């Protein structure tokens, strides 16, 4: 206390002293002014330096975040790129009528055909152990492909055809340089003999990398070389379709009511606050809600895009409502007044004038909400969409999974070849997202009105 | 005017909600009527094996590919025991045996007949980077390094907070590095098994603690299975690939995971020798590697014959080309049971003998 009072006294004294000085002669004033200017000059340089520092700092923040982005993309692309190539093996398959002589073409032993042609390809392999190692070079998917071919075209039986069939993931990884062949034999998953055979096959031109069409045509698989993204992509599209169908009309209707019709009272305030709160609720909560209401109460099918879409639309509703309300607010009142002035009803005003002008903003909000929904896994965990699903979903009620879940499942697989599939799936997800955001920008540019 | 319009919009919204609700109710009758694919839930440890069988089954038969959710052993049991309705799962996989409490809850909900199928073994390994020397551990070392409380090192028969910070302090023959072990969280079946087999196993090497098992079982379990929370044990989530990456980056640390991950990453990491036995396919199979557990699958008998493909899926799983010594599951890292045990379990599956507890 004492010290504060003391300081106060001192400053008052100083002030008196200064004002005494000021009221003195002109001569004394000039140097004071000059020194003030000097001080400003001095301060100016300091302020400039400060500004310069701040500019550099904020610029480096931008550079830093950009470089993180570049790093992320570079690592994903460099990891994921090889997944678009797959190693195939050229085999001369003889569709032996004896092997295929069973009552059902589906159940015939197609693996035997593959093994036969492998034996012909590498005739000097004789011992049982070595043969097993040799068979491992071909993917188990080869026999499924033969099965599909024969079922589609039974006239193949008895013919010999040269076919490119999928190789196992180990030769694939070796050809892509993911397995270090200089390591001692016990430390790599592929044996010396297998490497020798692979080199032999490469020299014969029977082992080549081709564009991986399977990745875009197949559903999930346990074998990395047979795994594809199409099931998850279809699932994501179906789910988002349900989300869009449900959330857009409901959200727009809610926003229009709240913004244009609702009276301002405690109830609408409460609704507003709750909508804002809902937008911040963690997504897993919506999953629990979905489990309790849609699965247990309504008995909707587990793991289906229908339930996924409904849950995600609950999650995106607040986002779209908030965005829609903001864009409705941005429509100038003069538009409404003009419409009402020429005799339009309130509803006509809203539907003929306000909504069309607010639509670009609403659509942008919707697409942002949907892109958020596209990346969700947590709520889907609760309703059983984190699952292994091979068949590509054909309808809203088929079991299916979505892109981010597929990424999660592959990232957790022990097989090393799934690393590149994971990155490739991330690339597909990013492409999906970028195109959705691109659409949002396009729509905004196209319909946007400036006042 | 204004009021009318408000009513109009409200009415429209009401109609819409009513319509949606009506659709849902209507549809719920439609979709509850049947299911043409097998629905499986359960352990993430059995997941790679179950999915392999499911995929082969789907591709080589005329049935649809079964749907498999990875929910964890406990979560799977909960779903499985929820009832006998057609929308409940047909099979749940588990990396441990069904608990009495779970069995009782099954019974209570009308799931009276459960068929237990033992599918094989899985080893739990402690591994480190190949850049560092291989660890030679005993279960006692593991227990002393990781337990929350350990028997007093001075010799009195009391428990003290774990004082060890380096491996050398635990056992003079071990390297002088900080104890740092990454492993699964408590929700994981792998963790359950690790706590029971490795920790409790190491705990029992103290005779006076072992004696406690008979007098005070609760206390025994509490002190033997609790892992320390002061840093050396790091819960690294359920993603085993992540643990392997971290092991590579930090050669001084150890990781705990299933044998199949060691198998697939043998060029990067090495399994520690436990009680003188190296974790390998053969050693786990013949039972000499001690931290190994059985994997199970539980089948709802009332769904057999109702859900198409269920019996056939079981037949595929228990066929020699799947779970046999040279079957395709062995290639995925499942450690097969000896032949007699396989025939025995296979027979029980064929006759669908329900489990009694």
The answer, for A189 touching chain B at a CB cutoff of 8 Å, is yes
Beta bridge partners of B137: B274
- Residue A261 sits at the chain B interface (C-beta within 8 Å): yes
Q: What is the pLDDT of residue A325?
A: 94
pLDDT band at residue B235 under the 50/70/90 scheme: confident
Domain boundaries along the sequence of chain A: 2-79, 85-216, 230-447
Residue B4: pLDDT band by 50, 70, 90 thresholds? very low
Among the residue ranges A319-333, A400-414, B7-21, the one predicted with the least confidence is B7-21
DSSP letter at B292 equals: E
The distance of B32 to chain A (nearest Cα, Å) reads: 7
How far apart are the CA of B298 and the nearest CA of chain A, in angstroms?
A: 18
Q: What is the mean pLDDT of residues B280-302?
A: 88
pLDDT-wise least confident of A3-12, A202-211, B86-95: A3-12
Residues 265-324 in B contacting A (C-alpha not used; CB under 8 Å): 265-267
User: Which residues partner with A138 through β-bridges?
Assistant: A167
Nearest to A221 among B12, B55, B266 (CB): B55
Rounded Cα gap, residues B218 and A101, in angstroms: 64
CB contact under 8 A, A147 and B8: no
Rounded to whole angstroms, the Cα distance separating B255 from B125 reads: 8
pLDDT digits (tens, 9 = 90+) for B296-315: 999 999 999 889 999 999 99
- Please give the full DSSP string across B52-69, using - where no structure is assigned: HHHHHHHHHSSSPPPEEE
Residue A238 confidence (pLDDT) above 90: yes
Read off the pLDDT of residues A343-377 as tens digits, 9 standing for 90 and up. 999 999 999 999 999 998 999 899 989 999 999 98
Whether residue B178 is predicted with pLDDT greater than 60 in this model: the reply is: yes
What is the total residue count of chain A? Answer: 451
Q: List the 406-425 stretch of A: residues with Cβ below 8 A of B.
A: 409, 411-416, 419
* Statement: residue A221 has pLDDT above 80: yes
Asked if B70 and A409 come within 8 Å (Cβ–Cβ), the reply is: yes
Put simply, the chain A residues between 323 and 352 with a CB less than 8 A from any chain B CB are 345-347
Residue with the larger pLDDT of the pair A350 and A188: A350
Q: Residues for chain B: how many in total? A: 357
A106/B47 touch (CB, cutoff 8 Å), yes or no = no
pLDDT-derived band of residue A58, with 50, 70 and 90 as boundaries? very high
Quote the pLDDT of residue A4.
Answer: 47
Paired residues of B299 in beta bridges = B91, B115
Chain A residue with the nearest C-alpha to that of B329: A222
Contact B227, B194 (CB under 8 A): no
CB A239 within 8 A of CB A309: yes
Cβ within 8 Å of B, A 281-300:
294-295, 298-300
Query: How far does CA A17 lie from the centroid of its chain?
Result: 70
CA A273/CA A271 separation, integer angstroms: 6
- Tell me which DSSP letter residue B84 carries: S
**CA distance linking residue A441 with residue A443, whole number of Å:** 6
Q: Which residue has the higher pLDDT, A33 or B218?
A: B218
Q: Does A214 touch chain B (CB under 8 A)?
A: no
* All structural domains of chain B: 39-121+294-351 (3.40.190.10), 123-292 (3.40.190.10)
Which positions 29-88 of A are in contact with B (Cβ < 8 Å)?
none
Separation CA A167–CA B22 (nearest Å): 52
Q: Which pLDDT score, from 0 to 100, does residue A57 have?
A: 96
Task: Return the higher-pLDDT residue of B199 and A25.
Answer: B199
Beta-carbon contacts of B190 under 8 Å, excluding residues fewer than 6 positions away, are: B45, B95, B124, B183, B184, B256, B257, B258
- Interface contact flag, B69 A388, Cβ < 8 Å: yes
Q: Which listed CATH number (1.20.58.110, 3.40.50.1000, 1.10.3720.10, 3.40.50.300) goes with A230-447?
A: 1.10.3720.10
Point out the residue among A132, A300, A384 whose CB comes nearest to the CB of B28. Answer: A300
Nearest residue of B to residue A391, measured between CA atoms:
B65
Q: Looking at residue A2, what is its pLDDT?
A: 43
- Please report which confidence band the pLDDT of residue B151 belongs to, taking 50, 70 and 90 as the band edges: confident
> Nearest by CB to B31, which of A246, A300, A387?
A300
Which residues of chain A neighbour B92 with C-beta distances below 8 Å? none
Residue A236: pLDDT over 80: yes
Q: Are A346 and B2 a contacting pair at CB < 8 A?
A: yes
Q: Give residue B22's pLDDT.
A: 56
Complex ipTM > 0.90: no
Q: What does the pLDDT look like over A402-429, one tens digit per residue?
A: 999 999 999 888 888 898 999 999 999 9
Cβ within 8 Å of A, B 152-211: none
Apex A436 CA angle, A434 and A440, nearest 5? 110
Q: Percent of chain A at pLDDT above 70?
A: 92
Q: Which residues of B touch A183 (CB under 8 A)?
A: 267
Average pLDDT over residues A7-27: 49
Quick one: angle between helices A418-447 and A355-374, nearest 10?
170
Which residues are CB-contacts of A201 (< 8 A; sequence separation ≥ 6)? A89, A121, A137, A207
DSSP state of B85: S
Which of A144, A300, A388 lies closest to B51 in CB terms? A388
Q: How many CB pairs under 8 A join A and B?
A: 127
Classify residue A243 by burial, with Cβ atoms within 10 Å: 0-12, 13-18, 19+: buried
Q: Strand, coil or helix: what is B174? A: coil
pLDDT at position B299 is 94
In chain B, which residue's Cα lies nearest the Cα of A140? B56
* pLDDT mean over B327-355: 87
CA distance A96 to B209: 67
Give which of A265, A267, A370, A374 is closest to A323, Cα–Cα.
Answer: A370
Listed in sequence order, the residues at least 6 apart from B81 whose beta carbon sits closer than 8 Å to its beta carbon are B102, B105, B106, B109, B111
Q: Tell me the three-class secondary structure of chain A, residue by residue.
A: CHHHHHHHHHHHHHHHHHHHHHCCCHHHHHHHHHHHHHHHHHHHHHHHHHHHHHHHHHHHHHHHHHHHHHHHHHHHHHHHHHHHEEEEEEEEEECCCCCCCCCCCCCCCHHHHHHHHHHHHCCCCCCHHHHHHHHCCECCHHHHHHHHHHHHCHHHCCCEEEEEEEECHHHHHHHCCCCCCCCCHHHCCCCHHHHHHHHHHHHCCCEEEEECCHHHHCCCCCCHHHCCCHHHHHHHHHHHHHHHHHHHHHHHHHHHHHHHHCCCCHHHHHHHHHHHHHHCCCHHHHHHHHHHHHHHHCCCCCCCHHHHHHHHHHHHHHHHHHHHHHHHHCCCHHHHHHHHHCCCCHHHHHHHHHHHHHHHHHHHHHHHHHHHHHCCCHHHHHCCCCEECCCCCCCCCCCCCCHHHHHHHHHCCCCCCHHHHHHHHHHHHHHHHHHHHHHHHHHHHHHCCCC
Contacts of A390 in chain B (CB under 8 A): 54-55, 58-59, 65
With contacts defined as CB-CB under 8 Å, which chain A residues touch B263?
414
Alpha helices, H only, B148-304: 167-170, 189-194, 200-203, 207-215, 217-225, 240-249, 259-264, 281-285
**Distance of CA A217 to CAs A85, A236, B339, Å?**
14, 15, 39
Q: Please report the pLDDT score of residue B16 as a whole number.
A: 60
Tell me which residue of B281, B256, B282 sits closest to B269, measured CA to CA: B256
In sign, the C-alpha dihedral spanning A171, A174, A180, A182 is: positive
Mean pLDDT of B320-348: 86
């Amino acid at each position: 206390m004492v010290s504060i009072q003391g300081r106060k006294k001192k400053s008052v004294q100083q002030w008196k002293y200064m004002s005494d000085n000021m009221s003195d002669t002109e001569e004394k004033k000039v140097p004071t002014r000059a020194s003030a200017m000097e001080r400003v000059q001095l301060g100016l340089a300091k302020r400039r330096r400060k500004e310069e520092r701040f500019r550099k700092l904020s610029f480096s923040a931008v550079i830093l975040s950009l470089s993180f982005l570049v790093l992320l993309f570079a690592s994903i692309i460099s990891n994921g790129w090889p997944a678009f190539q797959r190693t195939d093996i050229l085999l001369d398959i003889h569709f032996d009528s004896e092997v295929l002589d069973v009552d059902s073409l589906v159940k015939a032993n197609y693996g035997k055909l593959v093994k036969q042609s492998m034996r012909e390809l590498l005739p000097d392999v004789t011992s049982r152990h070595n043969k097993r190692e040799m068979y491992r070079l071909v993917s188990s998917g080869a026999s499924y492909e033969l099965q599909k071919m024969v079922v589609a075209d039974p006239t193949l039986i008895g013919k010999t055809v040269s076919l490119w069939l999928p190789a196992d993931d180990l030769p694939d990884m070796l050809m892509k340089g993911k397995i270090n062949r200089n390591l001692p034999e016990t430390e790599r998953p592929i044996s010396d003999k297998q490497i020798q055979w692979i080199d032999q096959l490469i020299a014969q031109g029977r082992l080549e990398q081709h564009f991986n069409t399977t990745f875009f045509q197949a559903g999930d698989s346990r074998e990395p070389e047979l795994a594809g993204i199409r099931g998850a992509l279809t699932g994501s599209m179906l789910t988002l379709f349900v989300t869009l169908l449900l959330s857009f009309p409901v959200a727009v209707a809610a926003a229009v009511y709240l913004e244009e019709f609702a009276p301002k009272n405690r109830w609408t305030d409460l609704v507003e606050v709750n909508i804002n709160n809902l937008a911040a609720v963690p997504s897993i909560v919506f999953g629990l809600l979905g489990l309790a209401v849609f699965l247990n109460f309504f008995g909707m099918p587990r793991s289906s895009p229908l339930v996924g879409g409904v849950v995600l639309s609950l999650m995106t509703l607040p986002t779209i409502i908030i965005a829609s309300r903001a864009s409705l607010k941005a429509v100038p009142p003069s538009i409404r007044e003009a419409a009402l002035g020429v005799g339009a009803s309130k509803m006509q005003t809203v539907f003929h004038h306000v909504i069309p002008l607010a639509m670009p903003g609403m659509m942008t909000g919707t697409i942002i909400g949907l892109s958020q929904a596209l990346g969700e896994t947590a709520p889907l965990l609760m309703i059983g969409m984190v699952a292994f699903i091979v068949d590509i979903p054909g309808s809203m009620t088929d079991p299916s999974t979505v892109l981010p879940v597929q990424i999660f499942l592959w990232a957790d697989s022990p097989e090393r070849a799934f690393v590149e599939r994971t990155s490739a799936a991330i690339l597909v997800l990013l492409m999906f997202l970028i195109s959705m955001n691109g659409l949002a920008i396009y729509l905004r540019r196209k319909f946007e009105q400036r006042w | 005017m204004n009021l009318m319009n408000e009513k109009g919009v409200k009415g429209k919204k009401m109609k819409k909600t009513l319509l949606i609700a009506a659709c849902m109710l209507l549809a719920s009758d439609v979709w509850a009527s049947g299911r043409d694919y097998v629905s499986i839930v359960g352990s993430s440890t059995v997941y790679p094996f179950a999915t392999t069988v499911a995929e082969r089954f789907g591709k080589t038969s005329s049935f649809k590919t079964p749907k498999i959710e990875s929910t964890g052993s406990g979560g799977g049991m909960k779903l499985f025991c929820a009832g006998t309705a057609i929308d409940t799962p047909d099979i749940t996989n588990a990396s441990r045996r069904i608990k009495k409490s779970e069995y009782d809850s099954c019974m209570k909900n009308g799931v009276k007949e459960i068929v237990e199928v033992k599918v094989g073994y899985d080893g739990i390994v402690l591994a480190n980077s190949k850049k560092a020397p291989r660890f030679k551990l005993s279960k006692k070392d593991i227990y002393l390094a990781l337990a929350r409380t350990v028997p007093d090192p001075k010799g009195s028969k009391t428990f003290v907070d774990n004082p060890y910070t380096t491996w050398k302090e635990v056992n003079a023959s071990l390297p002088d590095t900080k104890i740092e072990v990454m492993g699964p969280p408590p929700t994981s079946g792998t963790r359950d098994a690790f706590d029971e087999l490795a920790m409790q196993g190491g705990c029992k090497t103290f005779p006076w603690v072992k004696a406690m098992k008979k007098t005070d079982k609760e206390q025994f379990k509490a002190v033997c299975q609790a892992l320390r929370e002061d840093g050396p044990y790091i819960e690294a989530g359920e993603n085993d690939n992540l643990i392997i990456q971290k092991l590579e980056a930090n050669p001084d640390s150890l990781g705990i995971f299933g044998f199949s991950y060691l198998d697939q990453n043998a060029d990067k990491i090495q399994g520690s020798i436990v009680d003188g036995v190296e974790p390998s396919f053969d050693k786990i199979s013949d039972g000499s590697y001690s931290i190994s557990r059985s994997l199970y699958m539980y089948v709802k008998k009332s769904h057999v014959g109702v859900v198409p493909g269920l019996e056939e899926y079981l037949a595929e799983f228990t066929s020699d080309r799947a779970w046999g010594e040279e079957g395709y599951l062995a290639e995925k890292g499942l450690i097969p049971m000896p032949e007699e045990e396989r025939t025995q379990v296979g027979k029980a599956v064929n006759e669908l003998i329900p489990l009694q507890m």
